[in-house]
Amino acid sequence: MTCATCIHWALRQHREMAKQGMAACSLGKAWTFFPPQHACAKHTPAPANIQADRERWLQKGGR
Q: Residue 61: how many CA atoms within 13 Å on its side-chain side?
A: 0
Mean pLDDT of 34-54: 95
Mean pLDDT of 58-62: 82
Mean pLDDT of 26-39: 91
Whole-model pTM: value is 0.83
Helices (H), the chain: 15-18, 48-59
